[in-house]
Each structure stands twice: as structure tokens, then as C-alpha cells.
Amino acid sequence: MSIVLSEILAEKQTVALGGHIRPDGDCVGSVMGLYLYLQEEYPKLQVDVYLENLADRFLFVQDTNKIHSEIDDSKVYDLFICMDCGDKERLGFSAPLFESAKMTACIDHHVSNEAFADYNEIIPDASSTSELVYRLIDKDKISLHCAEALYMGIAHDTGVFQYSCTAPETMEAAAELLRKGVNGSDIIDKTFYEKTYVQNQILGKALLESMMVLDKKCIFSYVSKRDMEFFDAVPSDLEGIVSQLRYTTGIEVAIFMYETGYQEYKVSLRSKDAVDVSKIAKYFGGGGHVKAAGCTMKGTVHDVVNNLMKEIDIQLKAIGTKE
């Protein structure tokens, strides 16, 4: 069943909001945007947010200091709304609260989402989950702080309005949020473009050591745990590397991975037009969008890359882009 916010909130007293592990801009924007809206429009509701620790650049969003990073297993919510999650396992530490809730809802735009909640708003063509939240709430009652969160989410998942998922409706939503008083350029600069010295160093290393394969239609790079320790980097410092690889002339698919354990890698995939990377990620136990997806894989670096390239090559050959 699709979501009508007023209906699923009817007669509820406690609501939990959660998003995916390693929360990115759209995850933070959608969850906090809805939280701030509910605080204003449903003041009698007890609303709690559950997210892993946020990157510093997202802390400007109002009330991020109220986010819970641990759960009370005995707590049972009337409603749990998860956002930007392709499956409930992606909720991470808050998944038990989703399981125990009396009612569940999911707002998401991942093509791999199989509508696992009681109520689902799954629109794969939407630019972002933040745009879906914008569609679901009363536009006349969006506060400045709510608008800032949603604008950030939309900007991040559209690559600052440049990805093909950016539709006229996306730009119209962003325009309405700007009319609420949002300083769009400041949010984009501080949360999307600005990088620390460490982030620039590790980006440079990843680009310098990248390799082109499959007749120069695919590019890959990886960062080891030793590299992470050397640069004193954390996973959030690696955001944007795979997109930068994708910008390479002639490339159809970019692969970036970093080591999370012995022979275990977190893989990020990005494509331009020819390859559906969500199918590849799903094949290896992950998921995502047609042009942006990810998974976790085990094996040596060469094993992982070779297995990914086999699946990419199948799609390239099928459409005749590989001679």
C-alpha cells in the first residue's frame, strides 16, 4: 500500500524514523526533513530518529543533536518509517525497532527495493528520497529548517542537479524549497564540494592508481586498510571518489572499493548510460539504482574486480558497446 502521511499517523503516539547505514546526504536530508516537519505539524507525537554517526558536514541540519545512535531493545513504536533503504538490513542497528514496530512504512527510490514494509512509497524514477518526502508533506507548512534538510538531500542524490534522475519536478521542488529561504549555494558548497586535506589526499591516490579495463570502458581503483590508516581516513572520507572516476572520458562504468576486513571490500559502482549497475550489485548481494549501486564482496582485489568485470562485460557485449 502506498503512503498517505495523515493516514499512517492517525492515532499514533510514538514514531521512529531511520535511514541506512553510513548515512549520506539524501538519507540525512530525508530523515531529518520528515522529523522537522512532524515536530512542527504533529507536536503531540513522540518522534525519535535513529541514524549512525553523521559526517561533520551534515551537522548544520537542525536538531541533528537529537539523533539516537543506540537503541533500547524493549521499546516498541506504534510506527517505524524507514527512508532511503533498499532493504531492512540496511537499517543496521535500528533494524530490531523496525521488526518490533506495530506498523512499518518505507519511503525510498531504490530500484532494488521489494516493498518490505506494511506501507510503501517506492518510486525508482524519483531523484531522491528527499524529493519523495517533499511530495508527501504539506508544501505550505514546510519550515526553513525542514526545507534546508530536504534541499540538501535532493542536491546530493542528483549530483547537484546534473544526474539523469533530475527531472523537471525535481527542479520545481528545489525551487520551492529555495523560496522558503534556503541558501542553496552555501549548502552545496559546504556539504557537497568542500573537502578536507585528507579527503583530497586519498582522492588523489585513488585517481593516480586507477586502471582502465574492458577496452577502456571501465575504470577501477581501490583503497586498502593500510592506506586508510596512513591517511588517518574514515569511510566517509571516500565519498565522491567513484563519481570522479566516472567522469573519465570514454568510461561507461566506474568501480571503487575499499577494504573493510581481511579479503573483504565495500564496492561502489557508477555508470553512464550503457550498464545497469543495480543488476550487478544485486547479483553480488547488494543493490541500488540503475546508475549508482553498491555491494560488499569477499576475495582478493583481483578476484573481486575480475568478478565485477565479467558481469559488466556481459552487459556491454549485449548492447554492442564493446567491439
Inform me whether the pLDDT recorded for 41 exceeds 50: yes
Mean pLDDT of 286-303: 94
Q: Express as a percent the part of the chain with pLDDT over 70.
A: 99
> Helix (H, G, I), strand (E, B), or coil: what is residue 258?
strand
Cα–Cα distances in Å, from 136 out to 6, 52, 132?
A: 9, 25, 6
pLDDT band at 322 (very low <50, low <70, confident <90, very high): very low
- The predicted structure's pLDDT at residue 321: 45
Q: Report the chain's mean pLDDT, rounded to a whole number.
A: 96
Q: 5-193, what's its fold?
A: inorganic pyrophosphatase (n-terminal core) (3.90.1640)
Q: What is the per-residue pLDDT across 114-146, written as a single tens digit (0 to 9) for each?
A: 999 999 999 999 999 999 999 999 999 999 999
Pick from 145, 140, 150, 18: which is nearest to 158 by CA? 150
* C-alpha distance from residue 286 to each of 86, 123, 215, 277 (Å): 9, 19, 26, 10
**Identity of residue 210:** S
Q: Which of 151-155, 215-219, 288-292, 319-323 has the lowest mean pLDDT?
A: 319-323
CA distances from 306 to 131, 146, 222, 302 (A): 36, 44, 13, 6
Q: How confident is the model at residue 49 (pLDDT cuts 50, 70, 90)?
A: very high
Q: Per-residue pLDDT tens for 250-289?
A: 999 999 999 999 999 999 999 998 999 999 999 999 999 8
Summarize the confidence of residues 9-18 as an average pLDDT. 98
Listed by start position, the domains of the chain span: 5-193, 197-319
Q: What pLDDT is stored for residue 273 in this prediction?
A: 86
Candidate CATH numbers 1.10.10.10, 3.40.50.970, 3.10.310.30, 2.60.40.420; the one for domain 197-319 = 3.10.310.30
Q: Are 316 and 275 contacting, i.e. CB atoms less than 8 angstroms apart? A: yes
Q: Cα 142–145–149 angle (5° rounding)? A: 95
When pLDDT is cut at 50, 70 and 90, the band that residue 304 belongs to is: very high
- pLDDT for the residue numbered 2: 87
Rounded CA separation 58/67 (Å): 12
User: pLDDT, tens digit, for every residue of 221-258?
Assistant: 999 999 999 999 999 999 999 999 999 999 999 999 99
